[in-house]
Amino acid sequence: MRKEILITAAGLLAAPLGWAATPPLIVCPPASTLECSNAAVTVVQTMVSDADGDALMVVWMVNGHSVLTNVVEAGVTTNGVTLSLSYPFTLGTNEVLVGVTDDGTNVVSCSTLITVADTTPPVIDLVTATPNSLWPPNHKFKDIRVRVEAHDDCGPVSWQIMSVESNEPVDGRGDGNTAPDWLIDGNKLKLRSERSGSGIGRVYTIHVQAFDASTNAAVSSVKVYVAHDRGHGKPYHDPADDEDDGPPGKGKGKDKDKGNGNGKGHGKK
Ligand SMILES: [Ca+2]
Ligand SMILES: [Ca+2]
CATH number at residue 78: 2.60.40.10
CA 121 to centroid of ligand 2, rounded, Å: 5
In this prediction, residue 254 has a pLDDT band, given cuts at 50, 70 and 90, of: very low
Together in a domain, 112 and 12: yes
Distance, in Å, from the CA atom of 254 to the CA atom of 98, rounded to the nearest integer, reads 84
In the chain, the number of structural domains is: 2
Residue 100 · residue 106 · CB < 8 Å: no
* Residue 133 belongs to a domain: yes
pLDDT at 262 over 90: no
Per-residue confidence at 236, pLDDT binned at 50, 70, 90? low
In this predicted structure, the answer to whether residue 46 has a pLDDT above a threshold of 80 is yes
174-183, 202-211, 241-250: which range is least confident on average?
241-250
What would the mean pLDDT of 128-135 be, rounded to a whole number? 96
Q: Do residues 173 and 130 both lie within one domain?
A: yes
What confidence tier does 20 reach under pLDDT thresholds 50, 70, 90? low
Mean predicted confidence (pLDDT) in 194-201: 89
Residues 112, 177, single domain; the answer is no
Residue 108 and residue 128 share a domain: no
Ligand nearest to the CA of 16: 1
**CA 189 to ligand 1 center in whole angstroms:** 71
pLDDT on residue 174? 66
| Predicted pLDDT at 107 | 94
Report the pLDDT averaged over residues 95-112.
Answer: 94
Closest ligand by atom to 54 CA = 1
In this model, does residue 176 exceed pLDDT 90?
no
> Is 47's pLDDT higher than 70?
yes
- Cα of 240 from ligand 2 centre, angstroms: 49
Domain that holds residue 140: 123-246
Are 35 and 112 contained in the same domain? yes
> 115 alpha carbon to ligand 2 midpoint, in Å?
15
CA atoms of 114 and 60, how far apart (whole Å): 13
pLDDT at residue 88 is higher than 70: yes
* Predicted pLDDT at 239: 58
Q: What is the pLDDT of residue 175?
A: 67
Ligand 2 centre to CA of 180 (Å) is 35
Q: Would 255 be classed as within a structural domain?
A: no
Closest CA to 162 of 218, 203, 226: 218
108 and 141 in a single domain? The answer is no
Distance from the alpha carbon of residue 65 to the mean position of ligand 1, in angstroms: 26
| Last residue in a domain, options 89, 117, 145 | 117
Banded pLDDT at 21 (limits 50, 70, 90): confident
Residue 215 has pLDDT above 90, yes or no: yes
